[in-house]
Amino acid sequence: MTQAILQKLKAVSRLPGRSAVLALIAWCLLWPSRLIVTVVPIRKLSRLLGADRGLPFQSVDIDAAQHRRAVRMRRAMKIAARFSGVSDDCYPQALVAHALLRVMGVPHAVLFGLRRAQSDASMDAHAWVMAGDVTVCGGGAIPHYTVVRCFSSD
């Protein structure tokens, strides 16, 4: 156990300063975020996500500096999710990315999508965050989901 933690800390320490700090902050926020999404209904949390843009989704414009910060945030979220053990929980990741992007001054959108489950007739839900053309978190399965809700930070 201790050896695994040391290996993870070594990996993070090899990152450039800002990225390491951002990954550490995101990692610290993922667990409380996971708890929040299990306790607080989505309709109450949605008030914190920004303006409800409805549909269709339109990309949020960002400048070059904001684009660099969004890419840095994407890297930090990948590292934080991998090391936290909540890498498969898209909703807590989206909340953390949203909070940190707001602090960083990067306009972004939090999107929610649905698709038919492959095993039965139920639905699978997914959440992801976009800043311009940068998928900050939750990007792997996006093409398989239909956007049903979009919240914009601007």
Domain boundaries of the chain, sorted by first residue:
2-152
Which contacts qualify for 42-45: CB closer than 8 Å, 24 or more apart? 45/95
CB of 130 closer than 8 Å to CB of 60? yes
Banded pLDDT at 5 (limits 50, 70, 90): low
Residue of higher predicted confidence among 12 and 38:
38
Q: What is the pLDDT of residue 57?
A: 76
Q: What is the pLDDT of residue 15?
A: 62
Q: What is the pLDDT of residue 79?
A: 86
Q: What is the pLDDT of residue 12?
A: 59
- Alpha-carbon distance of 145 to 74, in angstroms, equals 20
Q: Look up the pTM and report it.
A: 0.84
Backbone angles phi, psi at 140, to 5 degrees: -60, -40
pLDDT digits (tens, 9 = 90+) for 45-91: 888 888 888 777 778 889 999 999 999 999 999 888 887 765 568 88
Buried-state track 122-132, b at ≥16 Cβ within 10 A, e below 16: eeeebbbbbbb
Q: What is the pLDDT of residue 58?
A: 76
Q: What is the pLDDT of residue 124?
A: 85
Q: What is the pLDDT of residue 108?
A: 94
pLDDT digits (tens, 9 = 90+) for 86-123: 556 888 999 999 999 999 999 999 999 988 877 777 88
SS3 label, residue 126: strand
Q: What is the pLDDT of residue 130?
A: 93
pLDDT digits (tens, 9 = 90+) for 18-32: 778 888 889 889 888
- Tokens encoding 60: 């949020």
